[in-house]
Amino acid sequence: MKKIITGVLFLIASCYLQAQKKVSFSSQNYIGIVTGESDTGPQVQTINGIRFNKWFTGVGAGIDWYYQRSVPLFLFAERGFKIGPTRNIYFSSGVGINFPWSKDVYSDWNWWSVAESSRGFYWNTGFGYKIPVGKNSDAVLLHIGYSNKRFSEKISSSFPCFNPPCPENTETYKYNLRTISFKLGYGF
Amino acid sequence: MLPLLLLLSLVLNSCLKDKITHTYTLMSPVYKSKTEVYANIKSNAPQAIESPGKLFLYGNYIFLNDIEKGVHIIDNTNPANPVAKAFINIPGNLDIAVKGNTLYADLYTDLVVIDISNPLSARFEKYIPYVFTPRNYGNGFIADSTRVIVDWLTKDTTVDIQTYNNWNKRDMILMSGTAYNTPQTAGGGGGAPGIAGSMARFSIVNNYMYCVNHWQLRSFDISNALNPTPSASTSIGWEIETIYPFHNKLFIGSQSGMFIYDITNPATPVREGAFTHARACDPVITDGDYAYVTLHDGTPCQGFNNQLDVINVTNVASPSLLRTYTMTHPHGLSKAGNLLFVCDGRDGLKLYDATSPGNLVLKKHLSGIETYDAIAWNNNLIVVAKDGLYQYGYNNSFELIQKSKLSVDR
């Protein structure tokens, strides 16, 4: 994980160093579907940062409903390629932290248990196609990606009993979820 | 769009494997033969207190149940310096009562009789089978009834949910021995040959011992203390929990209310009155005019109240609620004169001025300890807490001074 983060930071830093022409704010906003072995769910994402030359780098955040709703927060980098006068494709990657949305899922139905979710690692990668609209750099974005989100859940139970102290038990679930995504977005 | 996603799912199938692991503690029972277990019911070397349970005060001795393990015999001649003298191994033990030189204890479904004429050299005398309700451990586990569970082995286990999510292959994640439907036994009380806490399920009154299980009040003639003789069984409704004797009455706490039984004829208790209330677990004590009942949640009773009810029992045929006081998570309680001690679970120990039961005044609140049961006797308050056995001196000025603590060593 350290290598990946270092790599992304290096990529961002080198982009800054290479940015000799104009630097501008850019934003990409997506809605999409994530699907994997266990579930299919929607996702929304926004990535905001700076664009220079063929690079775009920034910070992304979203909501991912796959298996259990969570909020990935990640550093992001993208490299664009021109494949025609008005046609562009781009490759992107992000790495960061996945925050579970709910802190205590179990207590909704199991009053003697308390669940505590913990954040985990998150990364994504993929490629996309840009359809320019308007005169500026505005574009409709089609993106196919692969992502991996992780989190864990610790469930502490104090079983009902007549004679205190009641028996206690702790269970841990670790989730390592892999999905592909198809996103439709708008960038400017 | 959807066909494309399905195609991609197939192509990337191996890359889309979720990995979900479940780590839990697996418990498996350790059995011994009944012969071995009975042979070991004797005074052994003192042991560290692991999980303090029921309490019985007898003379200068404290008999302290260690949940599922047995009974600590503690010399309490000097409450400032209690000394653990011996430990009697009684697997599955939750309740105790003492009369004269005889200790009665439950061993899962059996009642065992132990000669403690010399507490440091206790001796197993006999057992009476099937007095109490069998355990229900959950997850379909049924204990081998020909042997006795003496311990549980625990093992941290991690399984892959995807390859394990099949009920036929599941291990037993047991809720340990004291969970649901533990044996319903009882303890002695005021006016009896010893003093029990308010959460007791045995009770000795003169020459009779009364035990409650889930639905029955059973009485035993203990004129010959070493040879209890069953005398009567009375069905008293479901979910009976605690028993507290006062003069010629038994105050029985259940999940649905408090029952009062007359034992003028000790062999055949007769129901005199009942007070029904919200569904919760409830130890009960009385001073003859008023009964004090605690209700708390976090039990199989499915109650969600945490309160202290004061009930007027001057007319035992028709008890009436005097007042309800809100509590945090109350368990056992004890009363000495106008001093009412309430073990309010994780909220500690509370001392009330009960001069006017309809207007209890909180005089002292000791927080930072999780308290379960108490016995107040002779200006000495013995408190069972999660982390040990505490003793306090008290007086009519509502002072509480800690004298000693025997710590739990888990």
The token pair that represents B210 in the structure block? 């009364």
How far is it, in rounded angstroms, from Cα B242 to Cα B179?
Answer: 17
Mean pLDDT of A7-20: 57
Residue B298 falls within a domain, yes or no?
yes
| Residue contact A167–B175, C-beta within 8 A | yes
Mean pLDDT of B264-276: 87
Q: What is the pLDDT of residue B192?
A: 34
Residues B79-108 have pLDDT tens digits of 999 999 999 999 999 889 888 889 999 999
Which CATH code fits A2-100+121-148+176-187? 2.40.160.20
How far is it, in rounded angstroms, from Cα B159 to Cα B171?
Answer: 10
Q: State the pairing for strand pair B249-254/B257-262.
A: antiparallel
Residue B148 falls within a domain, yes or no?
no
Instruction: Indicate if ipTM > 0.90.
Output: no
How far is it, in rounded angstroms, from Cα B292 to Cα B354?
Answer: 11
End-to-end CA distance of chain B: 59
| Residue contact A162–B241, C-beta within 8 A | yes
The token pair that represents B392 in the structure block? 């306090």
- In this complex, is the C-beta atom of B54 within 8 Å of any C-beta atom belonging to chain A? yes
Residues B220-258 have pLDDT tens digits of 999 999 999 988 888 877 666 778 888 788 888 777 777
Interface of B with A in 182-211 (CB under 8 A): 182, 184, 199
A to B CB pairs, distance under 8 Å: 111
Count of domains for chain B: 1
Domain ranges of chain A: 2-100+121-148+176-187
The chain A residues in contact with chain B (CB within 8 A) are 33, 35-38, 40, 67, 112, 144, 146, 158-167, 169-180, 182
Going by the DSSP 8-state scheme, the letter that residue B42 receives in this structure is B
* pTM for the model: 0.71
| Residue contact A161–B180, C-beta within 8 A | yes
Residue whose entry in the numeric block shows the structure tokens 């992107």: A92
Residues B390-409 have pLDDT tens digits of 999 999 999 999 999 999 88
Mean pLDDT of B46-72: 90
| Residue contact A178–B21, C-beta within 8 A | no
Residue B4 falls within a domain, yes or no?
no
| Residue contact A182–B21, C-beta within 8 A | no
Does the structure show a pLDDT above 80 at B52? yes
How far is it, in rounded angstroms, from Cα A94 to Cα A125?
Answer: 6
CATH number for position B302: 2.130.10.10
Contact B150, B32 (CB under 8 A): yes
| Average pLDDT over chain B, rounded to an integer | 83
Interface of B with A in 321-360 (CB under 8 A): 331, 345
Chain B, nearest residue to A176 by Cα = B19
A11 or B148: which leads in pLDDT:
B148
Of A53-57, B121-125, B129-133, the one with minimum mean pLDDT is B129-133
Q: What is the pLDDT of residue A44?
A: 97
In this complex, the residue of B21, B22, B372 whose CB is nearest that of residue A164 is B372
Q: State the pairing for strand pair A120-132/A139-158.
A: antiparallel
Interface of B with A in 153-172 (CB under 8 A): 161-162
Residues B284-303 have pLDDT tens digits of 788 889 989 888 876 655 56
Residues of chain B with pLDDT > 70, as a percent, come to 82
Q: Of B82, B84, B72, B124, give the one whose Cα is nearest residue B102.
A: B124
Q: What is the pLDDT of residue B4?
A: 65
Domain range for B53 is 31-136+178-407
Residues B22-45 have pLDDT tens digits of 888 888 889 999 999 999 999 999
Residues of chain A with pLDDT > 70, as a percent, come to 79
At residue A170 the predicted structure's pLDDT band, cuts being 50, 70 and 90, is confident
Residue B116 falls within a domain, yes or no?
yes
- CB contacts of A38 in chain B (<8 Å) are 18, 20
Asked if the bond preceding A72 is cis, omega within 30° of 0, the reply is no
- In this complex, is the C-beta atom of B401 within 8 Å of any C-beta atom belonging to chain A? no
DSSP-derived secondary structure for A55-91: EEEEEEEEEE-SSS-EEEEEEEEEEEEE-SSS-EEEE
Residues in chain B: 410
What is the Cα Rg of chain A in Å? 21
Burial class (CB in 10 A: 0-12, 13-18, 19+), B14: exposed
| Residue contact A169–B25, C-beta within 8 A | yes
Residues of chain A with pLDDT > 90, as a percent, come to 56
Mean pLDDT of A138-147: 95
Beta pairing partners, B218:
B211, B233
Residues of chain B with pLDDT > 90, as a percent, come to 43
**CA angle A179–A32–A138, rounded 5-degree value:** 125
Task: Report H helices in B25-125.
Answer: 34-39
Residue B341 falls within a domain, yes or no?
yes
Residue B278 falls within a domain, yes or no?
yes
Q: Of B328, B335, B338, B345, give the one whose Cα is nearest residue B384.
A: B345
Mean pLDDT of A122-126: 97
Measured CA distances, A134 to A27, A80, A86, B52, B234 (Å): 16, 19, 12, 77, 89
Residue B367 falls within a domain, yes or no?
yes
Does the structure show a pLDDT above 80 at B352? yes
How far is it, in rounded angstroms, from Cα A118 to Cα A124?
Answer: 20
Q: What is the pLDDT of residue B164?
A: 55
Coil, strand or helix at B105: strand
DSSP-derived secondary structure for B278-322: SSSB--EEE-SSEEEEEEBSSSTT-----EEEEEE-SSTTS-EEE
In this complex, the residue of B18, B184, B300 whose CB is nearest that of residue A37 is B18
In this complex, the residue of B8, B23, B298 whose CB is nearest that of residue A180 is B8
Residue B1 falls within a domain, yes or no?
no
Of A21-30, B103-112, B199-208, B372-381, the one with minimum mean pLDDT is B199-208
- In this complex, is the C-beta atom of B94 within 8 Å of any C-beta atom belonging to chain A? yes
Q: Of B286, B297, B307, give the one whose Cα is nearest residue B203.
A: B286
Biggest CA pair distance of chain B: 86
Q: What is the pLDDT of residue B215?
A: 76
Q: What is the pLDDT of residue B282?
A: 64
How far is it, in rounded angstroms, from Cα B281 to Cα B254?
Answer: 7
- CB contacts of A184 in chain B (<8 Å) are none
| Average pLDDT over chain A, rounded to an integer | 85
Contact B192, B203 (CB under 8 A): yes
Of A72-81, A169-178, B238-247, the one with minimum mean pLDDT is B238-247
Residues B150-189 have pLDDT tens digits of 988 888 888 887 665 544 444 444 444 333 333 222 222 3
B8 or A47: which leads in pLDDT:
A47
Q: Of B249, B349, B360, give the one whose Cα is nearest residue B309.
A: B360
Mean pLDDT of B191-202: 59
Does the structure show a pLDDT above 60 at A93? yes
- CB contacts of B331 in chain A (<8 Å) are 164
Q: What is the pLDDT of residue A34?
A: 96
Q: What is the pLDDT of residue A150?
A: 96
